[in-house]
Structure 1
């Protein structure tokens, strides 16, 4: 049975015939026909998030998917989409000067068949403390809220006729985040009975990622993987997330990051 918590990639891998259902349900899912985008985007999106992104009823999508794989499937729940909360436009956003808003329109990137994740993360990394990132997309980038939320960002979303504008802003200054990050790392390390250290700073790409992913098999609930890296491994995050892990990255200097990787906790 297909549930709302399952990743789109998991559903398509186990039930490839459901691709037809996604595409028929909403034109937003048309991009799943692109194998590269399907691999890159679907691995980060749950069925519930996909329904929100496409603007379709979650229960309707679940019914169609399950009906495709089981002809005798009966609708057993009436979950509605948990849409992002609509909030009044923040006062700071009303007053902020336009030169402080950094715009990134990812629609051309998506149309070219590329995953815009790295482009987004680079913009986020380059943001100054008093700047705001305005992301423009065809759909609401729900999974990105979680990714950037872990990095200390809040968001405000505006839905227009055929696009979404999402403003991402830091909850606090970069200095405060850095101090909190140090404290969090010390605290987290003390919670584990075993720490595996892995230094990949001298390895050429893609060996650091390969080495880290290979080492994940040794990381259980009582084990912490401490990676010494020469840069923040942005491409690694979605790969470990789909494997059930999470990471905290701490910048020591321009060429040195400490990355803590652990099993996700409920």
Structure 2
């Protein structure tokens, strides 16, 4: 049975014939016909998020998919488990209207997607370059719902507007959170000293994809009193969404160009 929390990649791995069903339901899912995008984007997006991105009702999507593999499927079995993503339309933050050009970092990801590539690394590179009070503005042909939680984990809020067929998403850090979100400057930031147990993992000499594999394998050792301290040769931007979906957070400190210390801990640790 297909449920709302299943990743698109998992569904298509088990039922590859459902690509045609996705495309029939919404032209937005035509991107799934691209093998590269199917491998990258679909691995980060669950069915509930995919429905929100495509602007369709998740119950209808889940019902159609399940009926395609089981004509006798009873939707009432999982209706109560479905959470409809509601992206509330709030008033446009006043400061956005008065942003000067030097405060706006614009990234149009549509050409990247049109080439059949995943824009995630380009987005994270721009996030890394943002200076204090700068705002990242992303232009996309669809609403990037999964990106909201990834950047929220890094201290960003967002505001989204749609102009014709283009989504314009502003990512920014509230002034009161700018100091707190910087682990080097915040007096109350978590450090390894906040934990009773520290597990250290040095992956600097390992070739890809071994660093990520070693880190993910080590997550099972982390509890509320334990932090995983990773010594890495670069910022592991592709790791963040995988940690997010598993219930972990990460704070990364750049020591020098070839050395990053990544502190990984359970999300609920923040509220201790």
The interval holding the TM-score normalised by the smaller chain is 0.7 to 0.9
The 8 Å contact of residues 181 and 250 in structure 1, kept in 2 or not, is answered as no
Secondary structure at 1:84 match in 2: coil
2:87 matched residue in structure 1: 84
Counterpart Cα distance in 2 of 1:181 and 1:247: 17
Tell me whether 29-38 or 204-213 shows the greater mean CA deviation.
204-213
Structure 1 segments, 4+ long, off by >6 Å, are none
1:258 matched residue in structure 2: 261
Distance change (3 Å), C-alpha of 1:154 and 1:9: same
The 8 Å contact of residues 250 and 262 in structure 2, kept in 1 or not, is answered as yes
2:63 matched residue in structure 1: 63
Distance change (3 Å), C-alpha of 1:264 and 1:145: same
2:162 matched residue in structure 1: 159
2:232 matched residue in structure 1: 229
Counterpart Cα distance in 2 of 1:96 and 1:196: 44
1:169 matched residue in structure 2: 172
Counterpart Cα distance in 1 of 2:87 and 2:240: 23
1:186 matched residue in structure 2: 191
Deviations 1:9-45 (A, max 9, x none): 1211222222121111111100111111111111111
Q: What is the root-mean-square deviation of aligned Cα atoms in Å?
A: 2.6
Counterpart Cα distance in 1 of 2:244 and 2:83: 25
1:116 matched residue in structure 2: 119
The runs of 5 or more residues in structure 1 that have no matched partner are none
TM-score (norm. length: structure 2): 0.85
Counterpart Cα distance in 2 of 1:127 and 1:188: 29
The runs of 5 or more residues in structure 2 that have no matched partner are none
CA apart distance, 1:231: 2.6
Deviations 1:109-151 (A, max 9, x none): 0111110000000001101112111101111001100000010
